[in-house]
Structure 1
Amino acid sequence: MLTRILPPPGHARMLTFITMVMSLGQGLWMAINAIYAVMMVRLTPSQLGISVGIAAALVLVSSIPLGHLADRAGPRTVQMWSFLSLAPLTAALLFVDGFWSYLIVTSVQGLAYRAGNNARKAMIAANVPRSDRARVMAYIRAAINVTMAIGACLSGLTLAWGERVGYQGAILFTALCFLATGLLTLKEAPVPPVPAAAGAAFAVLRDVPFLMFTAVDGLLVTHALLLDIVLPLWVIHHTDAPLWMSSVILLINTAFVVAFQIRATRGIDDPKSASWASLQGAGCVATACLMFAMTSGTGLLLACALLVVGALLHALGEIRQAAGSWTIAFDLAPDHAQGQYQGTYKMGGDIGKIFAPAVFTWLIIGQGAIGWIVLAVSYAVLGAVMPAVVARGLRSRATAEAATATA
């Protein structure tokens, strides 16, 4: 399995391996975080929700400055220190006692993780040839799915045990994963910092085509929330399918991503072909929404069959759309500002995650099959506008490069 999800030797293999180490701890912590906060730290559900919201808002507003930091200080340096700092920050969760200490620790954790994430994207842009970036990102995503699944299995053992010492061991294991990630960063090729004179600070905020791409893509990637949040509730309230079908669908998605994410990058050579791949992915997700809509009022066997078909279409759309987005995000960004551009790109998904759960729940659970149809049309429209948005971005990039050459 390891040889199948690791790319050929070189910078890409080290990038992928480091990401696997990081995501092993991340997968474990994501699965127990909320339960640890409520059962061991004794937060109320409302306090947990407030702390998660505040931390997410801080990460959102800091994403561009943290990406800019990676450009100016050097992405390898920022990645290394971000994950080295995450080790003691994670271990500090052993000592939190109440709302304020939990809020402070998790907020700083979120900032450090986002800084490392932005820097890692800049490392990929610097150390991987342009034509190979989407394929390397595909290897990384497949590897993340494998190691996060392992982490989730470890979390299941922790939750089944239910003792404080089990949670403490899980926190220390996560901290060790972050420590190893920081130390392994030293094995990566160094990337020199970009002098401030190479471009104005936060130039991405004046790059309208890239901001348009970020907005459209951020709306498209909300489809990831369908399987985690909306579909389980849909299965319960609107279908005759058994409750365990939600787990089957998630398992199908994970296995599909691991098996086919790398193949999904075929034919994606530049932003133009990537925009059409994003359109294809959006079309598959839209069709999946229609399959899910058809499960309402059907019998058990037909509902299960339609859910599986929808899950497969959703997974195909997810991997194709993701492959297109990576290429667009890298190639529309100037080389001297990859950090801040990748930080901006991450903001699109962050904003979508803020409003999508409530909107999707009201639209689909509240309105029934018509909600799925509205969502299908929305994804189809977003996919259809992506080629035009990317074409405008390419024209803007060419104009900027011509102006720089003549200056």
Structure 2
Amino acid sequence: MAVPRGTATLSLFLPCRGCGRGRAGKTLFLTRSVGLSVAQVGLGLTVTALVGLVASTPMGYLADRHGPRGMQIGALLASAACTAALVAVRSFATFLVVGVLMAVADAASRGARGALIAGAVPADQRVRTRAYLRAVTNVGISVGAVIAGVGLAADTRTGYVVLILLDCATYLLAAAILLRLAPLPPMPAPAHGPRLIALRDRSFLAFTVLDGLMSMHFGLLNIALPLWIALHTTAPRWIISACMLVNTVIVVLFQVRASRGTGELAGAGRAARRAGVVIAVACALFAASGGAPTPVAVALLLAGSLMHVLGELWHAAAGWGISFGLAPAHAQGQYQGAHGMGMQLGGMVAPVVITSLAVGWGMPGWLLLGGLFLLLGALVPPVVKWAARSRPAEVAPEPAAV
């Protein structure tokens, strides 16, 4: 796999972060070791998600103004400190404080990462770079899942603390590695007009909402499918792990290839439309597995997982191409932060929507979800054309028929 110019250093810190991530471990630590209730942890996660949503664009603006490399390093150091502080949490109040600070650090990291790629990599290689990074990150996440499994199996405070400190160490290592990347100059703010222009860009915000709602499809594999398999199919439980494995392997092997043609707005719009189609097909296959004989159910579930991951690849590539392509050169950080708001929105509503429809309604719910994803994908190309027409002349991308 050819590595785009400027990617070598950037690619190093992402898998390190993936290795130590363990929301499941942190949640179990808070409930089983600290003694918080499930309701308290859920409320805290909701509050921190809202804080991250609000902070995304302003943090991206700061990355533009002060330089993305320094902002990213600062965010990683702050994340390390907040992660280590979890060990000292003894009450809901302290958990909330640490969680809010962590959400702000995550928001800073999102905007800075986008601006860092935009500044360090040529424009025609940005999407390919994001694809390469995502493939490498999935390798790191897989390794991290194995490490986390050991700690979770121990189910002791010592085991959880070790996992948290390992997570902290990955942030510190990531920050150290990023020092190898040359600093990028801050982008001067416009002399006149509003500062947070991404929040006034109606066409870009429309795309962000569509893309965020489309991102609910991640919940199909992580939330709905395990429950569906366990409650509504005759398939053996190991098929859940097999579906996850299919997803991880395909992302690692084919994310870069799937990003071809999405560096331009027209190609990215078409990729979003294709993503909606194949995710809808995946929903239909998952629905058909309910009540089917075991061999048929297994085949349908694996086929649905394959269709889903194809949609995931195209959806991810389309989002990168459109968010980079619509952002003014001086505001890549805040536009990437604003784009991240959509993903957070999708992550917040997905558990309720996905479980209510797919698990609660059964086959009709799966088909309704498929229709929703089909509609969302179909709406992206016209919104992208609207956004391309509304760009200021000095930053307007080449309009192309989608």
TM range (shorter): over 0.9
Q: Alignment partner for residue 190 of structure 2, among 193, 197, 203? A: 197
Partner of residue 405, structure 1: none
Q: Alignment partner for residue 137 of structure 1, among 127, 130, 136? A: 130
Between the aligned residues of both structures, percent identity stands at: 41
Are 1:177 and 2:170 an aligned pair?
Answer: yes
How far apart in 1 are the matches of 2:161 and 2:392?
53
Are 1:30 and 2:23 an aligned pair?
Answer: yes
Give the deviation of 1:331 after TM superposition: 0.7
Are 1:284 and 2:278 an aligned pair?
Answer: yes
Give the deviation of 1:250 after TM superposition: 1.0
Q: Alignment partner for residue 43 of structure 1, among 36, 56, 73? A: 36
Q: Alignment partner for residue 298 of structure 2, among 290, 301, 304? A: 304
The answer (yes or no) to whether the contact 2:49–2:103 under 8 Å persists in 1 is yes
**Compared with structure 1, are the counterparts of its residues 401 and 335 closer, same or farther at alpha carbon in structure 2 (3 Å cutoff)?**
closer
Give the deviation of 1:307 after TM superposition: 0.3
The answer (yes or no) to whether the contact 2:128–2:256 under 8 Å persists in 1 is yes
The answer (yes or no) to whether the contact 2:53–2:344 under 8 Å persists in 1 is yes
How far apart in 1 are the matches of 2:381 and 2:98?
42
Which stretch shifts more, 310-319 or 265-274?
265-274
Partner of residue 391, structure 1: 385
Partner of residue 215, structure 2: 221
The answer (yes or no) to whether the contact 2:7–2:121 under 8 Å persists in 1 is yes
**Matched residue type, 1:120:** R
Uncovered stretches (5+) of structure 1, i.e. residues with no partner: 403-407
How far apart in 2 are the matches of 1:184 and 1:309?
40
The answer (yes or no) to whether the contact 2:279–2:370 under 8 Å persists in 1 is yes
How far apart in 1 are the matches of 2:204 and 2:216?
19
Are 1:247 and 2:241 an aligned pair?
Answer: yes
Q: Secondary structure at the match of 2:34?
A: coil
Uncovered stretches (5+) of structure 2, i.e. residues with no partner: 397-402
Partner of residue 54, structure 2: 61
Question: Which residues in structure 2 correspond to 1:64-75 (within 5 Å)?
Answer: 64-75=57-68
Partner of residue 7, structure 1: 3
Q: TM-score, normalised by structure 2?
A: 0.95
Give the deviation of 1:257 after TM superposition: 0.6
How far apart in 2 are the matches of 1:118 and 1:59?
11
Give the deviation of 1:31 after TM superposition: 3.3
Are 1:148 and 2:144 an aligned pair?
Answer: no
The answer (yes or no) to whether the contact 1:84–1:183 under 8 Å persists in 2 is no
Deviations 1:244-267 (A, max 9, x none): 222211111111111111111123
The answer (yes or no) to whether the contact 2:65–2:189 under 8 Å persists in 1 is yes
How far apart in 2 are the matches of 1:345 and 1:393?
14
Give the deviation of 1:289 after TM superposition: 0.6
Deviations 1:83-140 (A, max 9, x none): 1122222111111111111111122112112201210111001111111111111111
Q: Secondary structure at the match of 1:261?
A: helix
The answer (yes or no) to whether the contact 2:189–2:330 under 8 Å persists in 1 is no
Partner of residue 339, structure 1: 333
Partner of residue 160, structure 2: 167
Deviations 1:281-304 (A, max 9, x none): 111111111111111221111011
The answer (yes or no) to whether the contact 2:234–2:297 under 8 Å persists in 1 is yes
Q: Secondary structure at the match of 1:190?
A: coil
**Compared with structure 1, are the counterparts of its residues 191 and 362 closer, same or farther at alpha carbon in structure 2 (3 Å cutoff)?**
same
Please report the RMSD computed on the Cα atoms of aligned residues, expressed in angstroms: 1.5
The answer (yes or no) to whether the contact 2:329–2:395 under 8 Å persists in 1 is no
Give the deviation of 1:320 after TM superposition: 1.3
Q: Secondary structure at the match of 1:43?
A: coil
Q: Secondary structure at the match of 1:241?
A: coil
Q: TM-score, normalised by structure 1?
A: 0.94
Q: Alignment partner for residue 287 of structure 2, among 276, 288, 293? A: 293
Give the deviation of 1:268 after TM superposition: 2.5
Q: Alignment partner for residue 120 of structure 2, among 97, 119, 127? A: 127
The answer (yes or no) to whether the contact 1:11–1:189 under 8 Å persists in 2 is no
Q: Secondary structure at the match of 2:376?
A: helix
**Matched residue type, 1:376:** G
**Compared with structure 1, are the counterparts of its residues 123 and 308 closer, same or farther at alpha carbon in structure 2 (3 Å cutoff)?**
same
How far apart in 1 are the matches of 2:77 and 2:317?
30
Give the deviation of 1:400 after TM superposition: 6.1
